[in-house]
Structure 1
């Protein structure tokens, strides 16, 4: 008897729910929202969708084979911060700006690496020999550029060495005059420039008169170009 009564009550509930659904289907969306707010979302879902007694059980993942890795749910949140051993950052050191490496001494540097001048001279000789033997125009152009660059470096190195020797000689002269109790004469920039030009012309004379003529011609052209420049006009 109890089972029959349960079936009858279930049928009555289903009939009543169907009638309610029909009434709800004829209502507007705005009225449905008002009804949902009035009776509550839980009761509204039970009326419309019925009371579900089936509980959502958590899925248990099993391995088909014990040697396979265990399957893990993708919905499980992953910890964002990982425990990683700290790595010590390597700091780059530039010896040019590092006080631990000492101060740059140009004189000492030139003495320690003076052998590079001999290496450069040997390279110039080797390039000249290769330049005479080559017949490829592109290779010849590269060799000429390399030869010119090495010559410029050698010329600058010799000029720097001469300037250092001149300054050292002046320092020694001043020290000797101080030791003798005399007032030393300190040369100004114009005197030093005149001496430099005189020495330059003497070196060119020793190398040949043609070099002096070419140098004077280039200097005259430079002075002429400087004099023909239009002066800047001021705006009142």
Structure 2
């Protein structure tokens, strides 16, 4: 029993001792050959000890080996590298530029539908501003009786009056459409079939309302005279040229 235990202990300690012995012999070999010249190392290799020579060379190479450097990943925003074999164009796009898309709010669905009644109510404060500007232009026109400044102020006042007349005309048309809508609604409540006017009939009604307004303001004759002159000029364009 004692012999079997000693054998097992010897077998267990055997590899460790062998490894320690190998390390010791390797260290001794390095210490012995550290001061040797190159000729002595060659002679050592020729004497039949190539294994020791390989261990020595491997030990020296591990010392001088540099640590492995990390691999650099190419940046996607780096400048574009052009090949020297291909001629570089004179005009090239260095940085990608996003194309700007123009958006017209008049024809875009994002701006919503145009409702003239809501628009006039929302921007009703502009009428007061226009009235103040008109009074200011009239005061400036009284100061400048003649000259280039007088002509500019006169044209500005005339344009403001035309815009005001156009706005009043649009307002009258809106009131007329609202009256027709209320009339159709009343007919539908009474059980009658509603009648929708054509665009030509709506224009005739608007023209009749305009004539009534001009007659009340005593401007009908001047309006008709301007209308006749305009129509005469149009007819004169279609006449054949006289041959001399």
TM-score (norm 2): 0.51
In the TM superposition, what is the alpha-carbon distance from 1:188 to its structure 2 partner? 3.5
**Does the Cα contact within 8 Å between 1:117 and 1:154 map onto a contact in 2?**
no
In the TM superposition, what is the alpha-carbon distance from 1:170 to its structure 2 partner? 0.9
2:75 aligns with: none
**1:160-199 → structure 2 map (5 Å cutoff):** 160-199=170-209
The CA distance in 1 between the partners of 2:159 and 2:145, in whole Å, is: 21
1:127-176 CA distances to partner (integer Å, 9 max, x unpaired)?
11211122451111111111111111111111111111211211111111
1:157 corresponds to which of 148, 153, 167: 167
Q: In the comparison of the two structures, how many residue pairs are matched?
A: 154
RMSD: 3.4
1:28-66 CA distances to partner (integer Å, 9 max, x unpaired)?
xxxxxxxxxxxxxxxxxxxxxxxxxxxxxxxxxxxxxxx
2:238 aligns with: 230
**1:38-53 → structure 2 map (5 Å cutoff):** none
**1:88-167 → structure 2 map (5 Å cutoff):** 94-135=104-145, 137-167=147-177
In the TM superposition, what is the alpha-carbon distance from 1:121 to its structure 2 partner? 1.7
2:51 aligns with: none
SS in 2 for 1:127: helix
- Structure of higher CA gyration radius: 2
TM-score (norm 1): 0.53
In the TM superposition, what is the alpha-carbon distance from 1:182 to its structure 2 partner? 1.0
In the TM superposition, what is the alpha-carbon distance from 1:193 to its structure 2 partner? 3.4
In the TM superposition, what is the alpha-carbon distance from 1:99 to its structure 2 partner? 3.4
Gaps (5+ residues) in structure 1?
A: 1-76
